Structure 1
Amino acid sequence: MKFYKAILAILLILIVENSIAQVEKNSVLFIELKKADSLTFDEGFNKCNYSALKKVLHKDLEFFHDLGGSQNLEQFYKAFSKNICGDSKYKPIRKLLPETLEVYPLRNNKKLYGAIQKGEHNFYIKEQNKDIYITGYAKFITTWIIENGNWKAKRILSYDHKPVKDYGEKFNANYAFPLFDNDKKIEELLTKHKIPSIALGVIKNGSLQQIRTFGNKKSGQPISSNSIYKVASLTKPITAFVVLKLIDEGVLDLDEPVSRYFIDEDIKDSKYLNKLTTRHILSHQSGFPNWRYLSDDNKLFFQFEPGTKWQYSGEGFEYLRRAVEKKLNHPFEEIAQEKLFNPLGMNNTHYYWTDKIDEKQYAVEHDKNGKPINYEKYTDANASANLLTTVEDYSKFLVHILNGAGLSKKNYSEFLKVQAQEKKGIDWSLGMQMLSDLPNNETAFMHTGGDYGTKTIVIIFKNSKDGLVLFSNSENGMILWQKVISEYFGEIGEEIVRRNLE
């Protein structure tokens, strides 16, 4: 019988690898099973929460382990009680590698009855009065069945267990990123996911601590600390703080109608025209769609009254740029250089291509297969996208924010406030996403940027004044940032990733 079960397990692996279509990671099915996996391991395995396990384990569970043999549900609970939760002084801990998680639906006549979930995880040991340390890693496949409307794990395969070479390697679960100390591992990840390069800026205690770069900006040309990336929507926080500095100087007011300085022809007759303020725009409550070109007539319009709800809008930031330029009678690039870039020494940052940019330093965008993409040299400022910058320059900007941004206490406190709610657990301040009530009573401010062939993310923490910048010139860069944040910031990072994936 064990022989046939082993054959079945192998066939299951082959099916997952070769035939069933994988679901998207933002799909309802993927998110539901990620939560179910969390009950199995985060609650059950890590916290010895038997009630959580009983919610997700099927009464006919079959558990296969390549080193420990096979078990039914009764045997599983007995071994679990003895080996996993029997000694509180020497506790095994499991951590999922989120970027490896995959889900494949199981259907019968198009009706969903189950799913196959696969991934990789690391195992650690937590001893009293010692830092947690890594012991090994493995792969897993779980077959989930829908029973009475609930997901139940009916078959679990745990295989390819391998010990780490340096058993007992120190690992600070709350604040560490072991990949920083393992260049070869990072390079392997880049190769595995066909990512040409990443550039990382590490901020600690309100100062830039480290810059690391891996891979190539283009074939055969290594990335460096002064390599220039197009950072997509990471343009928006820059724009927001240029505007906040103008507000601090009394040039603009956060709550005055933007129509005092600029009116777009498309909305000149709208009843909401004079209700739109700078605060609404910076907190994504303008009422505008993301981009007007997505509408049938290619015209700008209000989808709802400004300030009544949240909706991400690039048009809003562009509208504000035009208002500022008209008010000051200067191009926004010049205003940004004067108010932000020059004072901070952000010498390689521009809203568009200029003769000051060394094209040889450009990190060319790449598709999901690792092939370079033809890029466009924009020659006009866009307040929402296309900013060209380096990881060092953007890190300087974040350090500036963490240390008050040179603003008055009144205006800086406006940035620290929740201005709008995107969804439960994710709010927005002025120009940045805001995640409150994180572990250790921490609050994070973050923003992502993503165009075809480039994926970027920045994150800073209000209390610790730590932060991270990650640029990647790859369509696959999102895979890596989830791993980086989860591992580097430990429990806090995992919570941030979870909230963004839900």
Structure 2
Amino acid sequence: MSDVLSYNHGEPNKTKITDDLEQLLKDNNIPTLGLGVIEDGKLTQIKVYGKLNDKTSASYNSLFNVASLTKPVTAMTVLRLVSLGKWNLDEPLYKYFTDPDIAKDSRHKKLTTRMILSHQTGFPNWRWMHNDNKLNFEFEPGTKYQYSGEGFEYLRKAIEKKFNKTLEELAKEYVFQPLGMNDTSYIWNAKKQADRIVIGYDKNGKPYDIVKNKTASAADDLMTSVEDYSQFLIAVMKNELLSPDVFETMKTKQVKSKENKYFGLGFEIYDLGNDEIALSHGGADKGVNTFAIILPKTKQGLVIFTNVDDGYKIYESIMNQYLGEKGKRIVEIETK
């Protein structure tokens, strides 16, 4: 283990859990793990195991590219604007932005923020997945679920037009600064990040290049620490950012994605039965596998960052260990 900062409140078998995690990483060839544990609405543990790169051990405040865990942060930035009366969930986005690829398709006039945050745009995940590299509708907006990074990028362009600020500036103003997320950014900053960034690997141990975005992606490549992202989840759980009605809408099932699983606004919703839900999101890119989950009723949560293509292999063990029966239920829904 490299650097483990634990705020342990009388946790039983502390050594055993640490040993178990070390073994789990070894057995599954996971180079680096960042783990945040939330109990009773507080961040009780930050653990970072492994290396930054082939030379340096990772410290508790190491920075990870978290892939699609970017989306909940973008969603909360936009929902904060909605809460403050500066933006409307159901106003058509063409008033601010229309992508030239779909300008002649009248369906673009139906697109709203609600559809984007619940993945009902009709867009593919990414336009480059099509031969012509053009954005297109695969079905009528608002009629069903289909996960789309393009939707989030569409929303970014609309809010940047309306506010004449970048997403990075808006997120700083409305989320990062209010929550003290000083280690979080959409944009690469060599001075701040080069010495702390965790390198990603493929499953054969070959390193990937670090993603160094010059402009923000609303959907991908956020750089953050375990502590910052855990504090973000706690703020979501305690509703420190939104008005009460927008908060309720955010965690209301907008569209079904599979059995007992839905999308709200920016978060997936697991229906655990007995009037209990879990809000979660995952991320996967080359050399990145990440997962975040909160249980609003019991005020528990987990942040799991890994830096390898198949890092998801350890999620189930960690969920079972820290979330018990509820962890098992979530895994059950996920693997059905």
TM-score, length-scaled by structure 2: 0.93
Partners in 2 of 1:436 and 1:190 — Cα distance? 30
1:11-63 CA-to-partner distances (Å, cap 9, x unmatched) read: xxxxxxxxxxxxxxxxxxxxxxxxxxxxxxxxxxxxxxxxxxxxxxxxxxxxx
1:18 corresponding residue in structure 2: none
1:235-274 CA-to-partner distances (Å, cap 9, x unmatched) read: 0000000000111111110001011110110111112111
Structure 1 residue aligned with 2:108, among 273, 281, 300? 273
2:205 corresponding residue in structure 1: 370
Partners in 2 of 1:198 and 1:355 — Cα distance? 22
Structure 1 residue aligned with 2:35, among 200, 222, 242? 200
**Are 2:271 and 1:436 equivalent residues in the alignment?**
yes
2:327 corresponding residue in structure 1: 493
**Are 2:109 and 1:258 equivalent residues in the alignment?**
no
2:164 corresponding residue in structure 1: 329
AA aligned opposite 1:486: N
Distance 1:228 1:177, change over 3 A: farther
- Within a 5 Å distance, the mapping from 1:289-438 to structure 2 comes to 289-438=124-273
Distance 1:317 1:179, change over 3 A: farther
Q: How far did residue 417 of structure 1 move?
A: 0.6
Native 8 Å contact 1:242 1:339 kept in 2:
yes
Q: How far did residue 393 of structure 1 move?
A: 0.4
Partners in 1 of 2:96 and 2:15 — Cα distance? 48
Q: How far did residue 488 of structure 1 move?
A: 1.7
Native 8 Å contact 2:251 2:267 kept in 1:
no
Distance 1:284 1:405, change over 3 A: farther
What 5-or-longer segments of structure 2 have no aligned partner? Answer: 1-10
Partners in 1 of 2:134 and 2:162 — Cα distance? 24
- Within a 5 Å distance, the mapping from 1:103-122 to structure 2 comes to none
Native 8 Å contact 2:43 2:231 kept in 1:
yes
Going by fraction, where is strand more abundant, 1 or 2?
Answer: 1
AA aligned opposite 1:498: E
Distance 1:180 1:202, change over 3 A: farther
More relative contact order in 1 or in 2 (CA 8 Å, sep 6+)? 2
2:6 corresponding residue in structure 1: none
Q: Figure out how many residues of one structure are paired with residues of the other and give that number.
A: 326
AA aligned opposite 2:144: K
Q: Which ranges of 4 or more aligned residues in structure 1 deviate by more than 3 Å?
A: 176-182
Native 8 Å contact 1:195 1:370 kept in 2:
no
AA aligned opposite 1:491: E
Q: How far did residue 372 of structure 1 move?
A: 2.2
| Larger Rg, first or second structure (1 or 2) | 1
Native 8 Å contact 2:46 2:60 kept in 1:
yes
What 5-or-longer segments of structure 1 have no aligned partner? Answer: 1-175
Partners in 2 of 1:269 and 1:369 — Cα distance? 46
Native 8 Å contact 1:177 1:488 kept in 2:
no
2:304 corresponding residue in structure 1: 470
Partners in 1 of 2:173 and 2:15 — Cα distance? 35
Structure 2 residue aligned with 1:452, among 286, 292, 297? 286
